[in-house]
Structure 1
Amino acid sequence: MKFVRSIQLVATLFIFCFSLSPIGSAATLFTPGPDKSNDRTHAFFHELLTQIVGDKYVIASRPHQTQNRSIGLLATKAYYDVIWTAESSERDETMLRIDFPIFRGALGIRGSIIRKDYEPYFNAITSIDEFKQVRLCQGHNWPDADILEYSGFLVYRAVHFESMLEMVSRERCDAIALSIFEGYGEMEAFEAKYSELTFSTSVLLIYPQSYYFYVKKENSALALLLEERLRLHHLSGDYDYLLSSHPLTRDAFPLSKYDTASKIIVQPGNAFFDDNDK
């Protein structure tokens, strides 16, 4: 009996001590993991989450899935706690959107990853009809692919980003349209392997599109915390500092350098966005 009581006492003390441990007491916030080597987009969002809620959560990643599967795993399973993705009316119905547009709401201001030997033709584009002759690579589940297809552009879809780079390199596509806040950093991460490619902003595609954090519909407490912390981060100037210094986004600045770019305005209508965004 004394032996049993000793075991019980040791177990109780162990549980008590473990509960005082910062690691044991910290909640974990699970996000999708990187989907490619040197994934600067994942690094950016991991850093942003760490800055805004790192005092309350350990930010951890689970294996990356396709966008549609990630949405399903967030909405119906206890697998991811928060994801980041481009908005769409369907996503706003399925998940709870955090109303703070990442990248200043400029996901739809897009330069293009192209072959360097394609630049003379690409730089001569001045109209939407000319741009519609460009074969665009886009992510398989990207809302942008739907927007561009609906608007009459030639879109070829691929699941993985590096597959898109290969398609442009092999001339199966002409361009990958990426936000000015993503294109420079993503191209720099792969420039050693794809030295024949470059991110061009001489001609910009422009359409309404934003990036957001999303959480499960029932997780309103987390949604409120994330929105409050993001707004405080912006007011303090720390968010703008992250944008101007992170390897993914820093080369997008200064924004004045796009003043002389040709701008192709795409008007996809309201079918892709939530009523509150119309």
Structure 2
Amino acid sequence: MKHLFLVVFTSLSLCSISIAAELSPQLVRHIAPQGEKDLRNRYFIDLLDLVLSKTEQELGPFRLESNKAKMSQNRSLLQLQNNDGIDVVWTMSTAEREEALLPIRIPLLKGLLGQRLLMIRQQDIGRFAKVESLQDLQAFSAGQGSGWPDNKILRANNIGVIEGMNYEGLFGMLQRQRFDYFPRGINEIFDELEQHKSENFVAEPHLVISYRAPIYYFVSKQNRELAARIEQGLWIAFSDGSFDALFSRYQYDNLVNELRSRTVIKLNNPYLHASTPSEQSPLWLKFN
């Protein structure tokens, strides 16, 4: 009888734990796209889902939820810092951001974000054909979003920058000739050209601007448990090959071939944190 009681009690306890876990998954709130044509978040959400699932057996279930508001980078980072409706943001790193927030220092795009192709108006291809150096490029103005870390990097390399208030508005500014080109990560530009077919933009065919620009998951400094869970899941995904499988599913590994025949304009990025992983790390792709 005593044995039967223990069996029943143990079974009920396990059921209770299981039911509790199912009823109370860890809620992880992330940023929303900045417009209807903004597809940049898809990979990062899929990757976040993957890495959190790696620790599900150990740390329990989770539920991803998008914040409904469309917001600038600066606003999303401020809300993250204040634990106000956002638990995780993926964004390009700077020393300043790493001091204010808690970075998981694993470059999610293996350095691809810092390989920038130039989105230009189709009629301007001839203007850029003679550009062979940074000095040549300095005669042209770049368009960027307000508060983007790239703005400081470009200006530190004596490149003129025109800032727009929001992501979607930058395409209209390019069309209206407010600036000469819109530098886009090689992982971003082809989707964006597809989404903006009617504007007759093209990827300038022979140049690439290159600088170190790791993009990390960031959480609030008060949310160290989530940071540890994400980091643990990322390392598991690296080890078991599922990170690379997702990277390949988005065809990001094939983009390196797009760079091989291009003239590389190297920029210095003086705003990286001292703890940024070395370019010799296997976490980075080799571009040259």
- TM-score interval w.r.t. the shorter chain? 0.7 to 0.9
Letter in 2 for 1:44: Y
2:248 aligns to what? 244
Q: 2:100 aligns with which of 81, 94, 97?
A: 94
Letter in 2 for 1:92: E
1:224 aligns to what? 228
1:59 aligns to what? 64
Cα distance in 1, alignment partners of residues 34 and 140 from structure 2: 26
Cα distance in 1, alignment partners of residues 114 and 29 from structure 2: 27
Do 1:82 and 1:215's aligned partners in 2 also have CA atoms closer than 8 Å? Answer: yes
Q: 1:130 aligns with which of 105, 124, 136?
A: 136
TM-score between the two structures when normalised by the length of structure 1:
0.85
- Alignment pair present for 1:115 and 2:116: no
Q: 2:75 aligns with which of 65, 69, 79?
A: 69
Do 1:201 and 1:258's aligned partners in 2 also have CA atoms closer than 8 Å? Answer: no
Cα distance in 2, alignment partners of residues 186 and 79 from structure 1: 28
TM-superposed CA distance for 1:23, in Å, is: 5.9
Give me the CA root mean square deviation.
2.1
Do 2:113 and 2:214's aligned partners in 1 also have CA atoms closer than 8 Å? Answer: yes
Unaligned runs of 5+ in 1: 1-15
Question: What's the secondary structure of 1:186's corresponding residue?
Answer: helix
Identical-pair percentage: 24
- Alignment pair present for 1:210 and 2:214: yes
TM-superposed CA distance for 1:201, in Å, is: 4.9
Q: Which moved more, 1:172-181 or 1:199-208?
A: 199-208
TM-superposed CA distance for 1:39, in Å, is: 2.3
Do 2:27 and 2:65's aligned partners in 1 also have CA atoms closer than 8 Å? Answer: yes
TM-superposed CA distance for 1:212, in Å, is: 0.6
1:273 aligns to what? 272
Q: Which moved more, 1:181-190 or 1:33-42?
A: 181-190
Question: What's the secondary structure of 1:69's corresponding residue?
Answer: helix
Cα distance in 2, alignment partners of residues 275 and 255 from structure 1: 26
Question: What's the secondary structure of 2:275's corresponding residue?
Answer: helix
Q: Deviations over 1:90-146 (max 9, x none)?
A: 100000000110110232111111111111221321011111111110111110011
TM-superposed CA distance for 1:236, in Å, is: 2.4
Q: Kindly tell me: are residues 98 and 39 of structure 1, through their superposed partners in 2, closer, same or farther at Cα, counting changes over 3 Å?
A: same
Letter in 2 for 1:100: I
